[in-house]
Structures are given as C-alpha cells and as structure tokens.
Amino acid sequence: MKVRRPIIAGNWKMHKTVHEAQTLVKSLLLELPDTIISDKDVVLCPPFTALHKVADMVSNTSIRMGAQDMHWEKEGAFTGEISATMLRDVYCRYVILGHSERRQHFGETSQTVNLKAKAALASNLRPIVCVGETLEEREKKDFRAIVRAQVRESLHGIAAELAEEVVVAYEPVWAIGTGRNASPAQAQEVHALIRTVLADLFGAKRAAKVRIQYGGSVKPANAEELLSQTDIDGALVGGASLDARSFTAIVKAAK
C-alpha cells in the first residue's frame, strides 16, 4: 500500500468560460461526492477568470482549487500577472508551475519556476512543479540528466521542512496532448529517478513523502495501470479533465 495520498489535478488550460466552467463543475459535483474522494486529493485548475466562481461551487466539498501559473512578486507593476496572495484570495491551495507550455511559449525557465515555487510556499500555496523532456531530448537519451537538472533547479533552496508541501509533476512533453502516454514502466523509471533527486535535496525520509504526479495523455483507459506504479502518486490531467465522466473515471482509478 502506498503511504502517499493520491492527488489528481485537472489542468483546464485556456478552456472554459465562466458559464462553461459552471456546467462542468455541476456534473463533477454529481459524479464526485465527498464519499468517493475522501482518501485522495482532487484539484481543479480552471483559467483565472473562472477561479472565483468554481471556488464558490466547491466550497462545501473536499475538492480543492488550483491555478495554472503565478508571479513571484507580492504585488506591483507587472501588467497581466497575478500573485500568490491573489490566488489565496480566491481560495486556491495549489498552483501549477513550469508547465511545458509555459516553458515552450512564454520563456519560463527552472530559475523562474524556483522563484515562483518559493513565493507560493511563502503564501501557503502548494506548488505543482512540472518537469519533463521533449521528444528530441528523449531520443538523444540525455533526458535523465535534463529531468534531474529541472528538478534540482526548480526546487533549489527550498527548506526541507517544506518538501512535503511540494508536488512534482513528471510530464514528458511528447506525451502532452498527443494521445501518446509514457508507458507505465517508462513513467515509473523517471519517477524513481526524481525521487532520488528529492532525496539528495531533502533527505530520503522527506523524499518518500513527496507526491510525484504523472501527466501526459492520461485517460480512463490507461489511468489505473499508470497510477498503480510504485512512485506514481497521482495524475496531472489536461484534455481528459474537461469532460466530467473521463475525469471522474481517472479520479476513481487512484487508489
């Protein structure tokens, strides 16, 4: 039996107006009553515009809220950005950081992820720190060094006492939104590797408590096998989180 509490998060990306979000959450509330999710963490990460409304809808349930990014400064002249305090203000408990789409299209680096992760923790927000190699990197076979460096740099200087608050998401870029998931064995290998990096950073005891999610084309059909791997403690779900039935099936697959 796993000691770590499973965590399933839905990354809605740039999908759903407020009205569409309400429709999805209404269905999720019917499919995922608290009795079903009492032994796991379920996190919804809608776009910023829908956070407040969705937070209202799930306020009396065990479903938790997360955002998809944030800035590391508390406030200031940063047009278009949003702070940890603002996310807390709309009841977020989690924030996704360093998603590969942000690394690829918006210049996110492990250094900025590190600043954001520290700022999130300082505001009692749990960072979901994404790492993962591109297809080119996997084919060159240097992907292990790349993932190791992403974890080290993104979590640099975080106090060991806060390690348990951090969630790491291993998301091979070639598996995101492609329908081609990593095999359970491929994912498990990298998750075990990530845990050795966490042990170097925080000590083995603390590393054993950090949750590592897999992300990349998780669907009802592959969730159970992926989630049954020793070091896979949950899933970060993109496309399949936009459909109440699919997301529910994935949540139920986490034991």
Q: What residues are labeled active site?
A: 99, 171
CB atoms within 10 A of CB 76: 8
* One-letter identity of residue 169: A
Distance CA 83, CA 35 (A): 33
Q: Which of 6, 10, 172, 216 is the binder for ligand PEP (CB under 6 A)?
A: 216
Q: Which of 218, 223, 250, 254 is the binder for ligand PEP (CB under 6 A)?
A: 218
Q: Which of 6, 46, 66, 239 is the binder for ligand PEP (CB under 6 A)?
A: 239
Residue 81, sorted as left (phi over 0), alpha (psi -120 to 50) or beta, turns out to be beta
- Our finding on whether 95 is near ligand PEP (CB under 6 A) is no
Q: Which of 154, 188, 217, 246 is the binder for ligand PEP (CB under 6 A)?
A: 217
Taking the complex as a whole, how short is the minimal distance between the CB of residue 116 and ligand PEP, in angstroms? 17
Contact 200, 158 (CB under 8 A): no
| Contact string (CB under 6 A) for ligand PEP, positions 7-46, x = contact | ----x-----------------------------------
Q: Which of 66, 98, 127, 238 is the binder for ligand PEP (CB under 6 A)?
A: 238
Closest residue to ligand PEP, based on beta-carbon distance: 238
Question: Per the structure block, which two tokens stand in for 23?
Answer: 């429709």
Distance CA 59, CA 39 (A): 18
How many degrees, rounded to 5, is the angle at CA 105 between CA 108 and CA 144? 60
Only one of the segments 30-38, 76-84, 190-198, 235-243 lies at the binding site for ligand PEP (rule: CB under 6 A); that segment is 235-243
Give the residue with the Cβ less far from ligand PEP, 108 or 171.
171
- Our finding on whether 97 is near ligand PEP (CB under 6 A) is no
8 by DSSP, 3-state: which? strand
**Burial group, residue 37, by CB count within 10 angstroms (0-12, 13-18, 19+):** buried
Q: Are strands 7-11 and 234-237 parallel, antiparallel or unpaired?
A: parallel
Taking the complex as a whole, how short is the minimal distance between the CB of residue 56 and ligand PEP, in angstroms? 25
- Our finding on whether 176 is near ligand PEP (CB under 6 A) is yes
Distance CA 15, CA 180 (A): 21
How many degrees, rounded to 5, is the angle at CA 94 between CA 28 and CA 138? 95
Only one of the segments 48-56, 117-125, 151-159, 171-179 lies at the binding site for ligand PEP (rule: CB under 6 A); that segment is 171-179
Distance CA 188, CA 213 (A): 10
Give the residue with the Cβ less far from ligand PEP, 55 or 182.
182
Q: Which of 66, 127, 215, 234 is the binder for ligand PEP (CB under 6 A)?
A: 215
Give the residue with the Cβ less far from ligand PEP, 83 or 100.
100
Applying CB under 6 A, which residues contact ligand PEP?
11, 171, 176-177, 215-218, 236-240
